[in-house]
Amino acid sequence: MYLIAKNKIANYIQQYPEAQTNFLVWLKQFPYREGKRSLNDSKEFPAQWNITGESQLGNTHYKIRFRTNLFFKTTYIEWVGTIAEFGVYMENERKKMLALYPDMKVGHVVTMVPLTPPDFNKIVKSRKIKQTDIAVADQPHAPGIVSDRAIDFIFKTTAEYEAGLARAIILFDAGPTTPEGLELATLVTRLIHYEDRFIPFPKLDPLAVIKLKMRERGMVDQYPLDLIKLIGSKEELDQFLTGDKPLTEQALNVFYNYLKINFMSIEV
């Protein structure tokens, strides 16, 4: 799943550094969570290739709204911010729609989905994380939807990039066999090339990611006994989490396996 309009996240975390880890983790996890979910949706609804989605960043007050074109395997970030800001954003969007379509009626659809609990009797063995386990998000992007040889040039300026992104958003509902669809595919490739090269993101701090995942699971106030045993002792676990003791490769493997952090490489 390709992801464009990452400039919205880069701009937001530059303005609000405290949100950095939450948004960077979402970026790393996206191909495995939202992308996979969207592809599953396309199998159930093959006639619907455009989906709008929202994602709350763990148990934080941050949220992202995005749109996905399943045929082109592309998602663009439509909006980022806090949940409170999202309410204001959606109300403004509703007013815009009512201004365009005064007779429009707004309704809600409720879908009931049966959930099957996992089998907790099955034992999942821990294993050492290998370099090949690192998520695709950590690797350079593969060539885009259209061959690189079909691209005469990439965007050379921020203005060109922003104009291309605005055009791609206009074309985002284009069908797969239309001239607009071909233009969209070309634009997506050019946007990916530009964003990978010219939109900088801070490097994820492994300790910050570990503490974030532990907070999400309610493990900060009371450490799980099996995690203490895997690390060695509660004192050593405290030292790792406070930064008093540097994270070793062995400790990173334990944390990453235990917290199911499959998008970080082992770097000490």
CB-neighbour burial class of residue 24 (10 A; exposed 0-12, middle 13-18, buried 19+): buried
pLDDT tens for the chain, residues 1 to 268: 889 999 999 999 999 999 999 999 999 888 766 555 555 555 554 456 788 989 888 888 999 999 999 888 899 999 999 999 999 999 998 899 888 888 877 665 555 545 454 443 443 343 343 433 333 333 334 344 545 544 556 898 999 999 999 999 999 999 888 999 999 999 999 999 999 999 999 999 999 999 999 999 999 889 999 999 999 999 999 999 999 999 999 999 999 999 999 888 765 4
Placement of tokens 């050379």 in the chain: 156
Residues ≥6 apart with Cβ < 8 Å to 17: none
Q: pTM for this one?
A: 0.74
Structure letter (DSSP) for residue 164: H
User: What pLDDT does 44 receive?
Assistant: 52
| Predicted local distance difference test score (pLDDT) of residue 236 | 96
pLDDT of res. 185: 93
* Cβ atoms 70, 49 nearer than 8 A: yes
CB atoms within 10 A of CB 134: 16
Residue 51: per-residue pLDDT: 87
Q: Where are the domains of the chain?
A: 2-107+140-198, 128-139+205-268
Q: Which helix (H) or strand (E) holds 189?
A: helix 179-198
pLDDT of res. 70: 87
Residue-level pLDDT at 80: 96
What's the alpha-carbon Rg for the chain, to the nearest Å? 21
Q: How many residues does the chain have?
A: 268
